Structure 1
Amino acid sequence: MRAVILPLLLLSITSASAQNKSGAQPPITPRQIASALKLTATPEGQQKLHDQIMRLFGRQNLTQGKAGAKIEATTVAWAVIDPKPSRVVQQDGTLIGDMLPLGDDGLQVLVTEMPNFTETGYRVESEGMPHMAGTVHVEHYEYTADSLPHADVPKGRLEKFEWSTSKVFPETVRDVTVYLPSGFQPQEETCLMVWQDGTRHADPLGSMRVPVVFDNLIHKKQMPRTVGIFIDPGRKPKQKPGDKAANRGFEYDSLGDAYSRMLIDEILPEVQSRYQTKFRPQPESWAIGGGSSGGICSFNVAWERPDKFRKVLSWVGSFVDLKGGHAYPSMIRLAERKPLRIYLLDGENDLDNKFGNWPIANKQMAAALKYKDYDFRIDWTQCFHGSKGMAPMLPEALRWLWRDVK
């Protein structure tokens, strides 16, 4: 086991990810606004900036006081329409900055840098009268080269299907995305890695960019050829794709073998049938990962079925009392050690609410794993709850998990 303290990193946002499918120009960003405001612009240039800001925030949102702050990295932008001078203040009244007027219609804007890994309550006001209020959440990291696409790296392909005939979780519908590595051949024997909250992690332009990382690490032989199965939690039949899955908490946070049975008895055979996949029989070749409730779900699958899954990736895992998950540290200490390899990541800014304290819960998990001499690693960051802290560490985490599998 080794613990790693991560340095402060900054995330570079590429313009390609902001392009929409129609090929239209992406909206102006807070950093671009800041640069434009420093220039001595012509009237035409000022009008163009005015119009770009209006499009970014939305005229209706601006007039109705619903235009929340826009964040790019650690740069934050606010805008409002009001003929009176306006400013942005913290909840205690401390001035963040005075707004700069643009044009004759009352549009005003403020762009400023905010400290990384901070949450700041704010309100926009004119002569003491509030327009709107909200919270700025600044959390910013930089990807390494292994999370970026490279022209000389062969790309895997993504396939997708809908699963609606589960016997373990009846009356649920879920999307499943399958990553097949470059050059995949039917009946090729590969390793396997399952991901909870699958759709978001299978997106090559999303936060985690798992397919891109898989492409790069497989190409460099830093992880074995692996099929990825990205599974969404179950939604009810009347829910639309993209809606918050109604069955997520029940499936992910509950202890016991229900989710592992759905996975092993239903989803994996369906993938094998559809795409002619063949997974290595050794449990050391099977991994599972997820964040938050998806993290405890992943650990629970391996805990219940170490004969199948022996590698776990969990970030900001919900080892708290949502549905009994806070018992795991004690269970680990009391049970015979299982042949698992476990990667954990959490941060000082993770959740603290009535269900528990996520940082403390993950530290308790790490302490229990250390006590029982598990093969584990915990990386400690300043991350909030979500996937931003895990994203830049994913390549290193996967190298660590798969380090002795060729």
Structure 2
Amino acid sequence: MLRLLSIAFLISLMAGAPAAPAQSATPPAQTAHPARPTPPTRDPHTPGYVTAKELPDGTIPPASVDGNFIIGPTHTPAPEMSVQPGVPQGTVSEFVMQSTDSKLYPGIAREPGTFGTPDPNDPAKLIVTTSHPAPYTRRVEVYVPKQYVPGTAAPFIVGTDGPDHALFTALDNLIAEHKVPVMIAISVSNGSGDAQGSERGLEYDTMSGRYAEFVEKEVLPLVEAKYHVKLTSDPDGRATMGGSSGGSCALIMAWYHPEWYHRVLTYSGTYVNQQWPYNPQTPHGAWEFHEHLIPNSPVKPLRLWMEVGDRDLFNPNVMRDNMHDWVVANERMAQMLAARGYHYQFVFARNAGHVDHAVRQQTLPEALEYLWQGYPIAAAKQ
């Protein structure tokens, strides 16, 4: 019991909430993570889904237009996703971060083969008793374009679940084509695991500013010091991106710290009820974005590009809380963003699964070009 109390106290501190007592004297038995059911293929013209423009197969939306679009079923890679002859190549470097060096994420892990049990009084709450302190290491890869002028303040994009060499290749080509600014890219690996009770879940699914603060205070200073670059402090020159929980994390970073980030790119964003530990201020995790936060908050200076696949995830856990359908979550996001007047582009991809590789190969260059609309291309902001 003392061990459980100490774990609960540690996790509550990392989540920014007061320590909570153990759930019961005899915790519920943990269950093995159930196999994910095969997702149904969703029709983008389903009643309640956003009205979207269906594009001819093999085409993608223009990078200058807001709104909702349907693409597929064919997903041919964009030419910018391959190394092109004569295009300047940026340098890619890597360093490793240790959990022992982090003040914000000392590290947790969920025991292998376990998941959690729904609270019998509230299926939207998951009880996890097998999470405990644990060390981790993470890789950080940094892309610096050939065109970067040392000493200038560069715009940049932070990506989750790094390394991301496809992003670096796309940036080589897009920068050479003058479709995006000369920018640095920073791909940060997660601290391991997935979902509730894991380090990755704690980092990416927690509805707070903590992960953005980790990047700001513990990652970016290392990038600047190790590679002798200067990163802009202008939030209009800072972007985040990711897929799945890394995608919802990208929006969480900008939502809680819009003074740092204005641009967000997500594939199959986990805008569902995945947060753990439970937080009564956002009881439904990232589902709160479209349920309460976006509709009930002043409009933030954010620009978003989002994608979801027609075979994206559907209720892949034991909670059965009606808040674990990735397609519905992203459709609701598009509805709320439109209602509140945000600049966003939403792509519904036919013949596509979760963070679909073929869709990413087809759309990432256009997504990046859309993301950086309005930012000066010729020169970095100082």
Which bin holds the TM-score, normalised by the shorter protein?
Answer: 0.5 to 0.7
Q: Secondary structure at the match of 2:155?
A: strand
Give the direction of change, closer, same or farther, for the CA distance of 1:2–1:172 in structure 2 (3 Å limit).
farther
Partner of 2:224: 272
1:315 paired with 2:315, answer no
Structure 1 residue aligned with 2:252: 300
Aligned partner of 1:135 in structure 2 is none
What value does the CA root-mean-square deviation take over the aligned residues? Answer: 2.2
Task: Measure the CA separation in 2 of the matches of 1:6 and 1:168.
Answer: 45
Question: For residues 165-220 of structure 1, what are the alpha-carbon distances to aligned partners after superposition, in whole Å with 9 as ceiling and x for unaligned?
Answer: 11110143210000000143432321110000112x2x2xxxxx111110011001
Partner Cα separation in structure 2 for residue 222 and residue 155 of structure 1: 16
Q: 1:385 aligns with which of 344, 351, 354?
A: 354
Corresponding residue number in structure 2 for 1:360: 328
- Provide the rounded CA distance (Å) in 1 between the counterparts of 2:231 and 2:337: 28
* Offset from partner CA, 1:292-335 (integer Å, 9 cap, x none): 00000000000011001000001100001111111111210000
Unaligned runs of 5+ in 1: 11-116, 118-138, 204-208, 237-244
Structure 2 distance, partners of 1:166, 1:387, is 32
Asked if structure 1 preserves the Cα contact closer than 8 Å seen for 2:308 and 2:327, the reply is yes
Q: What is aligned with 1:340?
A: 302
1:175 corresponds to which residue? 139
The answer to whether the Cα contact below 8 Å between 2:147 and 2:182 also exists between their aligned partners in 1 is no
Gaps of 5+ in 2: 1-49, 60-71, 107-134, 276-284, 378-382
Secondary structure (helix, strand or coil) at the match of 1:386 reads coil
Contact 2:308 2:355 in 1 (8 A): no
Residue 364 of structure 1 aligns with an amino acid whose one-letter code is R
On the 8 A contact 1:177/1:231 being kept in 2, the answer is yes
In the alignment, what sits opposite 1:186? Answer: 150
Matched, 1:399 2:356: no
Give the Å deviation of 1:9: 4.5
Look up the match of 1:350: 312
Distance verdict in 2 for CA 1:298–1:390, change over 3 Å = same
Return the alpha-carbon distance in structure 2 between the equivalents of residues 193 and 272 of structure 1: 14
- Answer 1 or 2: higher relative contact order, Cα 8 Å, separation at least 6: 2
Among the aligned pairs, what percent are the same residue?
A: 30
Q: Is the 8 A contact 2:258 2:300 kept in 1?
A: yes
* Closer/same/farther in 2, CA of residues 387 and 276 from structure 1, 3 Å limit: farther
Secondary structure class of the residue paired with 2:249: helix
CA distance in 2, matches of 1:286, 1:270: 17
What SS does the aligned partner of 1:370 have?
A: helix
TM-score by length of 2: 0.65
Structure 1 residue 341 displacement after superposition: 0.3
Kindly indicate which of the two structures has a greater share of residues assigned to strand.
1
What corresponds to 2:119 in structure 1?
none
Give the alignment's TM-score, normalised by structure 1. Answer: 0.62
Distance 1:314 1:5 in 2: 20
**CA distance in structure 1 between the aligned counterparts of 2:185 and 2:138, rounded to whole angstroms:** 16
1:219-257 CA-to-partner distances (Å, cap 9, x unmatched) read 011000000000000149xxxxxxxx9511111111111
Going from structure 1 to structure 2, the CA distance change for 1:5 and 1:187 (only over 3 Å counts) comes to farther
Q: Contact 1:222 / 1:403 at 8 angstroms: preserved in 2?
A: no
The change in CA–CA distance for 1:266 and 1:3 in structure 2 (over 3 A counts) is farther
Q: Secondary structure at the match of 2:370?
A: helix
Give the direction of change, closer, same or farther, for the CA distance of 1:7–1:169 in structure 2 (3 Å limit).
Answer: farther
Name the CA distance, whole Å, in 1 between partners of 2:344 and 2:355.
21
1:143 to 77, 80, 83: 77
1:8, distance to aligned residue in structure 2 (A): 4.3
Alignment of structure 1 residues 226-245 onto 2, 5 Å: 226-235=183-192
Name whichever of 163-172 and 263-272 sits farther off.
163-172
CA distance in 1, matches of 2:53, 2:371: 15
Asked if residue 326 in structure 1 is aligned to residue 287 in structure 2, the reply is: yes
**C-alpha contact (below 8 Å) 1:186/1:275 kept by paired residues:** no
SS at the partner of 1:266? Answer: helix
C-alpha contact 1:4 1:379 (8 A) present in aligned 2? no
Q: Which AA in structure 2 matches 1:385?
A: H
Tell me the equivalent position of 1:111.
none
Say if 2:308 and 2:347, in contact at 8 Å, map to a contact too: yes
Looking at structure 2, the residues matched to 227 and 3 of structure 1 have their Cα atoms a distance apart, in angstroms, of 33
Checking the alignment, whether the CA contact within 8 Å between 2:90 and 2:172 is kept in structure 1 is yes
Bigger Rg, which one? 1
Give a deviation string over 1:94-131, Cα, whole Å, max 9, x none: xxxxxxxxxxxxxxxxxxxxxxx9xxxxxxxxxxxxxx
The answer to whether the 8 A contact 1:350-1:358 is kept is yes
Task: Indicate if the aligned counterparts of 1:160 and 1:176 stay in contact, CA closer than 8 A.
Answer: yes
> 1 CA distance for matches of 2:244 and 2:162?
13
CA change 1:196–1:338 in 2 (3 A) is same
Number of residue pairs aligned between Structure 1 and Structure 2: 264
2:264·2:302 contact (CA, 8 Å) conserved in 1? yes
Paired residue secondary structure (1:211): helix
Contact 1:318 1:325 in 2 (8 A): yes
The 1-side partners of 2:252 and 2:222 are apart by: 22
Structure 1: which amino acid aligns with 2:168? Answer: P
TM-aligned CA deviation for residue 4 of structure 1: 5.1
Query: 2:90, 2:362 → 1: CA distance?
Result: 20
What CA distance in whole angstroms lies between the structure 1 residues aligned with 2:93 and 2:52?
A: 36
